[in-house]
């Protein structure tokens, strides 16, 4: 083989084995735009890499855990609020029970003060002591009830005398005399009022029973 043949053969071989360099960069270094790979239709979304898929799964799991923890926190908060309300209610019940037990022992003393005042014996130092006692039971929430003319209520009144009426038509039973005051604290009746009742025509003027705050002992109706 001559040198010419070798040169021709080398030139033809170089042309047959020519190296082709393809730029596979997604971003055009000149324009900065995203390139569309050869063989892929224009406008097609790039294929999602496995790393992106794993990140989406992890984010979904994290969101589910956050929602679960939030629900647990809300449930615990609600349970704690219910517990606090129950404890406060039980504490108030215990306090009211203690006040009721203490003041119940003083009702006979209050009756004696009323009788002493009715006879004009409540004066001087004795009256000062009575005023202090009334102030104490007022602070504990003691109220008295039982007024003439109010409708008879068997839950707070103890009727020891009943005067029937001969009026025709609808009648209503009302308190005609209070023989002994009734007392209560909050919604607890310590002692019903001892009363005399009578029937009278129902003219719609009877007032509803109500509690009256404790005041200084006044005259007691009845014997």
What mean pLDDT do residues 151-167 have?
88
Tokens of 133: 């006692």
CA nearest neighbour of 149 among 205, 193, 79:
205
For all residues of the chain together, what is the average pLDDT?
79
What mean pLDDT do residues 76-87 have?
93
pLDDT (tens digit per residue) in 6-62:
555 555 544 555 665 666 666 666 676 666 666 555 555 555 555 556 678 788 888
Alpha-carbon gap, residue 57 to 195, rounded angstroms: 80
Beta strand residue intervals within 58-187, DSSP E: 142-145, 157-163, 171-180, 182-185
pLDDT (tens digit per residue) in 86-114:
999 999 989 999 999 999 999 999 999 98
Alpha-carbon gap, residue 62 to 195, rounded angstroms: 73
Instruction: Tell me the residue length of the chain.
Output: 223
| Interior angle at CA 157, CA 156 and CA 158, nearest 5 | 130
């Amino acid at each position: 083989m001559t040198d010419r043949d070798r040169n021709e053969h080398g030139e033809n071989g170089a042309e047959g084995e020519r190296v082709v360099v393809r730029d596979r960069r997604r971003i055009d270094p000149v324009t900065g735009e995203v390139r569309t790979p050869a063989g892929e239709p224009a406008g097609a979304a790039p294929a999602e890499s496995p790393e992106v898929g794993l990140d989406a799964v992890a984010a979904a799991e994290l969101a589910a855990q956050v929602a679960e923890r939030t629900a647990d926190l809300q449930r615990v908060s609600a349970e704690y609020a219910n517990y606090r309300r129950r404890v406060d209610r039980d504490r108030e019940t215990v306090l009211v029970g203690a006040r009721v037990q203490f003041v119940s022992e003083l009702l006979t003393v209050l009756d004696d003060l009323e009788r002493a005042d009715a006879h004009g014996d409540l004066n001087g130092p004795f009256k000062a002591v009575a005023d202090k006692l009334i102030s104490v039971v007022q602070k504990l929430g003691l109220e008295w009830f039982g007024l003439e003319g109010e409708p008879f209520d068997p839950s707070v009144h103890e009727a020891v005398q009943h005067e029937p009426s001969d009026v025709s038509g609808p009648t209503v039973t009302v308190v005609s005399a209070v023989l002994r005051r009734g007392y209560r604290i909050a919604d607890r009746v310590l002692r019903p009022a001892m009363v005399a009742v009578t029937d009278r025509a129902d003219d719609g003027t009877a007032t509803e029973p109500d509690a009256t705050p404790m005041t200084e002992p006044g005259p007691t109706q009845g014997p």
